[in-house]
């Protein structure tokens, strides 16, 4: 018996020491050594407690359809050449159709066969003849178009989540909503504008060849060479902050896209002590980059991000390593943000900010104070009632209640969970359930003592009879909490987290800790009657 008490006491002592260590960064962060702060994180507060940003973004899914048709246009042109099918041109007309123009019916049939084999969800229709040429139109079916829209929203959500994770925000919330919207909550964000710039950037990286013999001035007037596109190279003077835009004519055809990147990191140019972004292509991209640079020695290649040219270096030699760099008027933060969005990937469609609210820290402090006050008041009232009604047994229940609260908060810290205002409500509810467990135990002990059992026998029978009632009530509540966590969102999840964690600590404190206290005193003293 003595050995089991020692073992149980060591278990409880270990939990107490671990809880104190886990909660120390939350209580007094500045006075702790670095190794302690690395081992244990403070309790993370939700948006409603510490303030932050609340954003609702809308995904422009129709742009994703246009991008898909652009891809089909490029791939169809390449496939026609590989199959030696003679055609006049391949172009995209409007926002929903790819048009292939050929010279005769035989070629039109070949094109139909190729398009149906190469691209799923394509519907064809004849556009008739004009000037001796035959035009065939290809559109996405209604089902395929809906798949593209659905995929665009899901990919946008994943891309935004990757960006936020690399941005370093603790416990962000990203959820899909109706009407192609995405909810983003960033607790404790210190630079809202940087976050908006990072999340709203499409980050479509393209490599386009510069048309050197084209006149930018003519392009500004609307005179563009066939297959040409007017873009601007943006430069920022680091001394004055002045922005200059230099016009440049590039090929409208994209030679290579950022989809083939495998990594992007910030580096410092040792010659000029300026940051740049070093990029690495995956094997497919490296092979394509090698082919492009080999065929374009002496020409300039524009590195374009969201239709803005960052740099247009001259290709001096063939580049076979699959590496390149993006230089420009960067400071360390802008270079870091560019590397983040390139690593996370480009958005499949642009996003627009539909709602932008900032929750101030003063609201967070008020919420914390009010929430903690409610919990403290509830605890005090419960403690007073328990001690008055159950006397020394009420004191034992109070000790277990205090340890339960400490264990619960420590678990939130160890699991890196987020404490929200509904979470505080969950703590208050859990403490009520913890007291209910002690009430059941004490009432069972009273019943056993009324029929004349000794203190030891009454204690044994009381815990035995109360055990399954406590387990049943807590486990059913735990199941409800887990369901809320799995299918709930936002505040509901915050409530479910503290409720689920609290139930586990309640069972431990009510059944294990209180029994240890009783056994400890009954072993050291001869107790004939319990003060219940």
DSSP per residue over 109-176, as a string?
HHHHHHHHHHSTTEEEEEEEEETTEEEEEEEE-HHHHHHHHHHHHHHHHHHHHHHHHHHT-SS-EEEE
Other CB atoms within 10 Å distance of the CB of residue 39: 12
Phi, psi of 122 (to 5 degrees): -100, 135
What is the rounded distance in angstroms from the CA atom of residue 282 to the CA atom of residue 287?
9
What is the rounded distance in angstroms from the CA atom of residue 430 to the CA atom of residue 473?
12
Domains in the chain with CATH codes: 2-51+360-524 (1.20.1640.10), 62-145 (3.30.70.990), 201-358 (3.30.1360.200)
Fill in the DSSP letter of residue 41.
Answer: P
Q: What is the Cα Rg of the chain in Å?
A: 34
Q: What is the residue-level pLDDT of the chain in tens, covering all 532 positions?
A: 566 888 999 999 999 999 999 999 888 877 888 888 888 888 877 777 777 888 999 999 998 888 888 888 888 888 898 889 889 889 888 778 999 999 988 999 999 999 988 888 889 888 888 778 899 999 999 999 999 999 999 989 988 888 888 776 766 788 888 889 999 988 878 788 888 888 888 888 889 999 989 999 999 998 999 889 999 998 877 677 678 899 999 998 888 888 888 899 999 887 778 888 999 999 988 988 998 999 999 999 999 988 899 888 899 889 888 888 888 777 888 888 888 888 888 888 889 999 988 776 655 567 667 767 877 887 788 889 889 988 888 899 999 999 999 999 999 888 877 787 788 888 888 888 888 888 999 899 989 888 888 888 888 898 999 998 899 888 888 898 888 888 776 678 778 888 899 999 999 999 999 999 998 888 877 777 777 7
Given a contact cutoff of 8 angstroms between Cβ atoms, the answer to whether 426 and 495 are in contact is yes
pTM for the model stands at 0.64
């Amino acid at each position: 018996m003595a050995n089991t008490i020692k073992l149980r006491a060591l278990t409880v002592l270990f939990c107490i020491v671990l809880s104190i260590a886990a909660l120390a960064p939350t209580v007094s962060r500045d006075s702790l050594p670095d190794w302690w702060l690395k081992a244990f994180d403070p309790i993370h507060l939700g948006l409603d407690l510490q303030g932050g940003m609340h954003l609702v973004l809308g995904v422009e899914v129709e742009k994703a359809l246009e991008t898909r048709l652009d891809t089909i246009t490029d791939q169809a042109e390449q496939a026609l050449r590989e199959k030696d099918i003679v055609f006049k041109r391949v172009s995209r007309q409007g926002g929903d159709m790819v048009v292939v123009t050929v010279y005769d019916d035989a070629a039109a049939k070949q094109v139909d066969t190729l398009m149906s084999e190469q691209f799923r969800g394509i519907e064809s229709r004849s556009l008739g003849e004009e000037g001796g040429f035959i035009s065939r139109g290809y559109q996405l079916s209604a089902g395929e178009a809906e798949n593209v829209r659905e995929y665009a929203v899901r990919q946008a959500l994943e891309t935004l989540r990757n960006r936020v994770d690399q941005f370093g925000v603790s416990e962000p919330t990203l959820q899909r909503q109706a009407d192609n919207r995405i909810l983003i909550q960033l607790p404790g964000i210190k630079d809202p504008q940087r976050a908006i710039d990072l999340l709203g950037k499409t980050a479509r990286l393209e490599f386009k060849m510069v048309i050197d013999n084209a006149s930018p001035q003519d392009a500004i007037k609307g005179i563009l060479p066939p297959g040409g596109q007017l873009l601007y190279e943006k430069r920022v003077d680091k001394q004055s902050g002045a922005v200059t835009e230099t016009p440049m004519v590039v090929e409208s055809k994209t030679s290579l896209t950022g989809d083939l990147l495998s990594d992007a990191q910030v580096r410092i140019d040792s010659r000029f002590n300026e940051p740049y972004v070093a990029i690495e292509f995956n094997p497919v991209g490296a092979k394509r980059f090698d082919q492009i640079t080999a065929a374009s020695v002496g020409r300039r290649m524009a590195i374009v991000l969201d239709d803005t040219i960052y740099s247009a270096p001259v290709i001096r030699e063939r580049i076979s390593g699959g590496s390149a760099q993006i230089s420009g008027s960067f400071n360390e933060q802008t270079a870091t943000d560019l590397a983040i969005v390139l690593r996370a990937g480009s958005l499949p469609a642009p996003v627009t900010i539909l709602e932008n609210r900032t929750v101030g820290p003063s609201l967070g402090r008020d919420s914390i104070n009010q929430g903690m006050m409610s919990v403290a008041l509830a605890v005090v009232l419960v403690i007073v009632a328990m001690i008055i009604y159950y006397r020394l047994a009420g004191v034992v229940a109070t000790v277990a209640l205090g340890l339960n609260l400490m264990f619960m908060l420590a678990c939130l810290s160890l699991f890196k969970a987020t404490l929200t205002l509904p979470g505080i409500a969950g703590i208050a509810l859990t403490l009520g359930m913890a007291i209910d467990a002690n009430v059941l135990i004490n009432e069972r002990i009273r019943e056993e003592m009324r029929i004349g059992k000794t203190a030891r026998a009454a204690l044994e029978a009381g815990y035995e009879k109360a055990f399954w009632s406590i387990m049943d009530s807590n486990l059913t509540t735990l199941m409800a909490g887990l369901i809320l966590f799995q299918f709930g969102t936002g505040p509901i999840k915050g409530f479910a987290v503290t409720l689920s964690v609290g139930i586990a600590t309640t069972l431990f404190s009510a059944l294990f800790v209180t029994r240890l206290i009783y056994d400890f005193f009954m072993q050291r003293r001869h107790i004939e009657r319990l003060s219940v």
